[in-house]
A = this chain, B = another copy of it.
Amino acid sequence: MKLSTKGRYGIKAMVDLATEYESGEKLSIAQLSERQGISYAYLEQLIALLKKAGLVKAARGAQGGYTLAKTPENISVGEVLKALEGSTALVECVGTDGTDCENVCSCAARPLWLKLQRRIDDVLDSTTIKDMAEDYIIQKERLNS
């Protein structure tokens, strides 16, 4: 029941990108990895997933880098996690892809998993990258004062 570093690192990178969204500045993998303390080569892979999911845009070549593909308030945390982890489902049988386990009707635990999943998705879908970026900026200011 653990969230992997993929999800955690990816979220951090997205939040960092969000702080530059207004200015339109790009951030390179090198910058992101330095600022967030994530291994360069590993982060590269995570960003590739985010790009494939249409959450970030890349500019190739020298002076290139990444920007968010949408406004931060239009990117939910759930979307990001889904891109990185494949799914936010706690158990396969309550995933959004409609795959049900063979004994849906007789599974004692299914109602519990459904309830749990609904609560989780509530939070993930209602929290945006913008929300997180705002918290992040406030935190950074507090540290500097």
A85 at the interface (CB under 8 A from B): yes
Q: Which of B4, B109, B120, B132 contacts A109 (CB 8 A)?
A: B132
Q: Is the interface of A mostly helix, strand, loop or mixed?
A: helix
A108 engages B122 (CB within 8 Å): no
Number of copies: 2
B8 engages A91 (CB within 8 Å): yes
Q: Which residues of B contact A62 (CB under 8 A)?
A: none
B112 engages A77 (CB within 8 Å): yes
Binary flags per residue of A104-116, CB closer than 8 Å to B gives 1, else 0: 0111110111011
Q: Which of B105, B112, B132 contacts A112 (CB 8 A)?
A: B132
B112 engages A127 (CB within 8 Å): yes
Give 23 pairs: A residue, B residue, CB < 8 Å, sorted on A: A1-B3, A1-B85, A1-B87, A1-B88, A1-B90, A3-B113, A8-B91, A11-B109, A12-B108, A15-B108, A16-B108, A77-B112, A105-B139, A105-B142, A108-B132, A108-B133, A111-B132, A112-B132, A116-B120, A116-B123, A119-B119, A119-B122, A119-B123
